[in-house]
Amino acid sequence: MEKYDDWLKNFGNRVRVERERQNLTRVALADMANTEQGYIVQIERGSRSPSMKTFTNLLSALGVSADYLIYGTTEEELSERERVLNGFSNLLKRGNDDDIKMLYQLAAHMVRNKNNSDSSEEFDIEFNFD
């Protein structure tokens, strides 16, 4: 069984690796997680454990599973559904309000049409990105 100090360092390392993978600064992550940059530094160094509130904010900000931050479960070990949901969540977090509304409307339209038609029907949707 992993000692707490070792676990805390590994947890912090996973936060840092994921932050860097997403090209986020500590300041940006702190803003997204509604905390201070210094707190993120302490978490990443493994010198401080996050509060439950900060932990859930980190999950949301990074778009990763609790299993990943706590246990180091890799993306490959997650189900395809969890990987897609995590990826979609990350995409949504990067968009502005109009982008998020558009993606929601598109997804809702596709699900409604999929449920109301045969699967061979194609969807004709026009996008305007001006």
pLDDT digits over 33-71, tens only? 999 999 999 999 999 999 999 999 999 999 888 888 998
Residue type, 78: L
- CA separation for the pair 43, 81 (Å, rounded): 29
**Residues 66-111 pLDDT 10s:** 888 998 876 666 677 777 777 777 777 777 888 888 888 888 888 8
- Write out the two tokens for 51: 């509060």
Which SS3 state, helix, strand or coil, does residue 122 take?
coil
Separation of first and last alpha carbons in the chain: 56
Q: Which two tokens stand for residue 54?
A: 């900060």
Query: pTM here?
Result: 0.60
Cβ–Cβ < 8 Å for 40, 26: yes
Instruction: At 91, list the tokens.
Output: 């995409």
